[in-house]
Amino acid sequence: MEENIIKNPWSALREYTDARIGLGRTGVSLPTSKLLEFQLAHAMARDAVHLPLNIDNLLDGFANMPLELELLEKEATKGVLKEGIIPLLLHSQAVNRHVYLQRPDLGRRLNKESRKKLEELQKLDSYDLAIVIVDGLSSIAIKENAINFIHKLSKELVNDSLDWSLAPFSIVEQGRVAIGDEVGSLLNAKAVLVLIGERPGLSSPDSLGLYLTYNPKVGLNDSNRNCISNVRMEGLSYEEATKKALYLLKESRRLELSGVQIKDRTEDNETIQIKQEKNFLLN
């Protein structure tokens, strides 16, 4: 009964955010429609955590992606390219989702079979970058965003003034962010970029996170990584995420470091422009 709902004056701000503000009330309670929306969002967040990563869907995405193959023409990667682009399939030490949620430490390390697979690769050269896809806490985020982002980033890398060589792509099941360090190290990559499903929020079950580490190796902590968060259609656009990632990749390569020692300055020009405008509160 819409006529019984007392509107909240903050409701006008909902045009600018997915946050649950200005919901209104009926008596002292939430309107039924808003309560049902909350329950649906909660159910979607739970599904995002527990839904297994659809490997076949992801492989189809790679096979149909018009990727810039110049990046993968190095001699050492030819054995990986069979029919189109076939990523390496890896698994953490967490044997299933139940263990993964209770033992974060196991999600940070590869199991024996995966380590052996990487160690047996014939690495004739080092790579500038390894891209590792990890399911994390939202397989939906990977399904919706990973291929689209890789497509845009690969185009920028090919057209960049620097030459970039990519290690074979990797897909890790039941993984955490830090597992990318072990993968990058075994692939002999100078830097690793982990694409991982972020912990789902009640309005964002599909957020993709990007984590960059230079000189990856087991044992690093989060201060050694740069993070770009909330990459999705309704969040940070693929174009903007690619711009930030490329900036951090180039700075990381130039300075040979990553983490808290590198600051994302892609928005500095925009910040200066805002400062030059009048404060809207004084108008």
Question: Is 15 labelled a binding residue?
Answer: no
Farthest-apart Cα atoms in the chain, separation: 72
Please check whether residue 258 is in contact with residue 223, taking contact to mean a CB–CB distance below 8 angstroms.
no
Question: Is 198 labelled a binding residue?
Answer: yes
Model-level pTM greater than 0.95? Answer: no
**pLDDT the model gives residue 64:** 82
Compute mean pLDDT per 10 residues along the chain, 283 residues long, and list them: 78 83 87 90 89 92 75 66 77 96 96 94 82 95 94 90 90 97 95 95 89 96 95 93 96 94 74 51 49
The token duo for 179 is: 């597992």
Which residue stretches of 76-138 are H helix? 97-102, 104-107, 112-119
Q: Sketch out the chain's domains with CATH numbers.
A: 48-266 (3.40.50.11240)
Please check whether residue 141 is in contact with residue 235, taking contact to mean a CB–CB distance below 8 angstroms.
no
Question: Is 256 labelled a binding residue?
Answer: no
Contacts of 282 (CB under 8 A, 6+ apart): none
**pLDDT the model gives residue 269:** 59
pLDDT digit string (tens) for 17-42? 878 888 888 888 888 988 999 999 89
**pLDDT the model gives residue 26:** 87
**pLDDT the model gives residue 218:** 96
